[in-house]
């Protein structure tokens, strides 16, 4: 037994260990740490396991309703995990085209082989570095989801100024960017309020400045106490 289940797949690439663990109820993805990267319920694949995922999906769905129904709704996802959010978007939004960028080919393979990511033309999977992909990107997207984690947490490369600027430039107008970030939760410190990690704070500061200086930019934030996630939403008018 490991991570409360049986390891049904294990592989290793240059970035570390990848494991898929299954029990009677769930199938989960792990990256060389106890932190769950993805989870699917065996008998209820449309049920999301994490509150932050529910929030992100809801915001994307609500925003899609502002678009004309006969237009393709284009979503860029940076980071795949088990592909559960791409799975939900594909099944709940009409006329959607999802491009998912994932650094590790082994993770892409797991999403298709173990987590029911549909092999459909509406979902394009790209094996690439998200930073480099965005720097070379020439397309505009209606929504961009940034959900990139390694075994240790949020990669420091996401704090890069050029990356934030490229996100903004890759958005349609109107458009939506959503980040899944981390914060620290300690009831004994800061009067029990969540404290952003250093990486999260740097991302927040960029978009706070952007929203203060640019009337076309609106920043919203949602603290997810159940999992110590911070979801931030950037709206482009």
Q: What is the pTM (predicted TM-score) of this model?
A: 0.93
pLDDT of residue 3: 83
pLDDT of residue 186: 55
Q: Provide the domain count of the chain.
A: 2
pLDDT (tens digit per residue) in 94-142: 999 999 999 999 999 999 999 999 999 999 999 999 999 999 999 999 9
- Name the residue with higher pLDDT: 54 or 193: 54
**223 part of a folded domain:** yes
Mean pLDDT score, 16-21? 97
pLDDT of residue 192: 58
Residues 158 and 64 placed together within one structural domain of the fold: yes
Quick one: which of 114, 62, 115 has its CA closest to 85? 115
Quick one: which of 100, 80, 90, 93 has its CA closest to 37? 80
Residue 4 has pLDDT above 80, yes or no: yes
**24 part of a folded domain:** yes
CA separation for the pair 198, 184 (Å, rounded): 10
Among 8-17, 172-181, 192-201, the minimum mean pLDDT is found in 192-201
Residues 142 and 194 placed together within one structural domain of the fold: yes
Enclosing domain of residue 32: 6-41
Residues 64 and 18 placed together within one structural domain of the fold: no
CB atoms within 10 A of CB 109: 16
pLDDT of residue 150: 63
pLDDT of residue 92: 96
Residues 107 and 128 placed together within one structural domain of the fold: yes
pLDDT (tens digit per residue) in 144-177: 999 987 656 677 778 889 999 999 999 999 999 9
In contact, 120 and 86? CB cutoff 8 Å: no
Residues 31 and 65 placed together within one structural domain of the fold: no
Residues 17 and 101 placed together within one structural domain of the fold: no
Burial 215-227 (b: 16+ CB within 10 A, else e): eebebeeeebeee
**46 part of a folded domain:** no
Q: CB-based contacts of 69: which residues, under 8 Å, 6+ apart?
A: 94, 95
End-to-end Cα spacing for the chain: 50
Residues 65 and 171 placed together within one structural domain of the fold: yes
Residues 122 and 37 placed together within one structural domain of the fold: no
In contact, 107 and 81? CB cutoff 8 Å: yes
Residues 169 and 151 placed together within one structural domain of the fold: yes
CATH of residue 207:
3.40.50.150
**1 part of a folded domain:** no
Residues 159 and 206 placed together within one structural domain of the fold: yes
pLDDT (tens digit per residue) in 36-49: 899 999 999 999 99
């Amino acid at each position: 037994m490991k991570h409360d289940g049986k390891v049904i797949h294990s592989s290793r690439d240059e970035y570390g260990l990848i494991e898929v663990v299954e029990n009677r109820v769930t199938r989960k993805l792990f990256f060389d740490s106890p932190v769950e990267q993805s989870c699917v319920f065996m008998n209820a694949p449309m049920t999301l396991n994490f509150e932050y995922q529910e929030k992100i999906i809801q915001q994307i769905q609500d925003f899609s309703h502002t678009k004309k129904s006969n237009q393709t709704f284009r979503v860029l996802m940076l980071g795949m995990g088990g592909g559960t959010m791409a799975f939900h978007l594909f099944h709940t939004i009409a006329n959607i085209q999802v491009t998912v960028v994932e650094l590790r080919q082994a993770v892409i393979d797991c999403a298709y082989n173990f987590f029911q990511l549909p092999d459909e033309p509406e979902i394009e999977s790209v094996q690439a570095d998200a930073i480099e992909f965005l720097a070379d990107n020439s397309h505009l997207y209606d929504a961009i989801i940034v959900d990139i984690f390694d075994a240790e947490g949020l990669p420091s490369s996401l704090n890069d100024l050029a990356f934030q600027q490229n996100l903004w430039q890759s958005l349609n107008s109107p458009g939506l960017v959503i980040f899944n970030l981390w914060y620290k939760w300690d009831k004994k410190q800061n009067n029990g309020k969540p404290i952003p990690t250093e990486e999260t704070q740097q991302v927040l500061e960029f978009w706070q400045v952007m929203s203060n200086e640019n009337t076309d930019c609106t920043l919203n934030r949602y603290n997810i106490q159940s999992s110590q996630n911070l979801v931030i939403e950037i709206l482009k008018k």
